[in-house]
Amino acid sequence: MRDDVVHVSRFTFYAMIIEGRFTVPISIESAWDFFMNIESLARCMPGLKQVEAIDDKRYRCTIETKVAYLKFNFNGDFVITSEDPPMLVKSVLKGEDRKFFSALKSENLMELEAIYEDVTMVNYKIDVNIFGRLGTFGQRIIRGKAEQLAQEFIRNVQSAISSKTPTAGQ
């Protein structure tokens, strides 16, 4: 885990790494299909207000999130930079909120691992860099918000997948 805050004049930079893992009750191939389907993924992303495909690897998006007493609206691009189906995908998200002079960049890694035929481990690592006014919030506030969003995403993914997974006897 890394947390760095750098202040240069009135410019603030904050960096952190968020990583974790969780399981989903589907095969690795089905998990891959779920995560690579932008519509499925978009429904699970907290604060995602809009997503538009530019091509099959690039998307334009708007993300809204509230940190402390401020609501940030980041407009940006999400790009899949490399993939090794059905095990690994790397992506980059860049966005900015012009109202609050803030920007973010995240380099994302997701690795899928078949635990059983119908259980997949999802390992993720997100290297986040935050610039501008959002970077002025304390480490506790930013890390807390990031962890909250990650947990909400995991719950949403597990719920979406569970609602599509047949139960015993079906």
Residue 1 lies in a domain: no
Residue 7 lies in a domain: no
Per-residue pLDDT at 86: 98
Model confidence, pTM: 0.86
Domain that holds residue 82: 13-163
DSSP letter for each residue of 154-167? HHHHHHHHHHHSPP
Sorted by sequence, the CB contacts under 8 Å of residue 92 that are 6+ apart come out as 78, 79, 81, 105, 106, 107, 108
Residue 62 lies in a domain: yes
Per-residue pLDDT at 152: 97
- Residue 106, domain CATH: 3.30.530.20
Q: Cβ(80)–Cβ(91) under 8 Å?
A: yes
Q: What is the pLDDT of residues 112-134, one digit of tens each?
A: 999 999 999 999 999 999 988 88
Ranges of residues in the chain whose predicted pLDDT is under 50: 1, 5-9, 167-170
Query: Helix or strand or coil: residue 149?
Result: helix
Residue 117 lies in a domain: yes
Structurally, the chain folds into a number of domains equal to 1
